[in-house]
Amino acid sequence: PVDSAELLEHQALVALAHVPDQPGVAADLFEALAEAGLSVDLIVQATHEGSSNDIAFTLAEEELEAAQAVCQQLFADRCQLTTERAMAKLSIAGAGIMGRPGVAAKLFDGLSRQGISLRMIATSEVKVSCVISGEQGAKALRTAAQVFELDDHQLGHNPVPQSSEEPEVRGVALDQDQAQLTVTNVPDQP
């Protein structure tokens, strides 16, 4: 189910807690970041009970100060802002990930056996990505390669984005048969 793994180093994590739960707040945030020329990578939103959400995202470490300034200007004292530097993003990809139970669990188990804590997780139909401490990045990439029996040519280390003639968005899908489950106060340990 997994045909490649990739490590992107020198990442930063920005987390906004207690963001007002109103239509347009996320749009305002990511439009302001885009207007500042900042390229956001992973985005995760978690809901709270009540009228707020948490939003976290990653971007290149050299863009962190600019992202902090945008967030502070946009939200002032309305939410709590925390950041982390020296992070890395590990991703596994493959067309067989969707509909195959246990693929993410297999990755997370391999990483936990190496003592690697996950700071953030994001998934799609063809990719599972997790943010980890940058100092553990190389070990995490080797672990993913071992867990999924990948060869060196299937591994990417700090890939350079390539421009493409493809459109930015090539399709939209809607799956209405979903449910949400929130688990809170999970210990932060491998």
* Residue 83 confidence (pLDDT): 97
| Residue 159, CA distances (Å) to 6, 7, 123, 162 in order | 8, 8, 19, 9
127-133 and 4-20 as β-strands: parallel, antiparallel, unpaired? unpaired
pTM, to two decimals: 0.89
Note the pLDDT tens digit of each residue in 163-180. Answer: 667 777 777 777 888 887
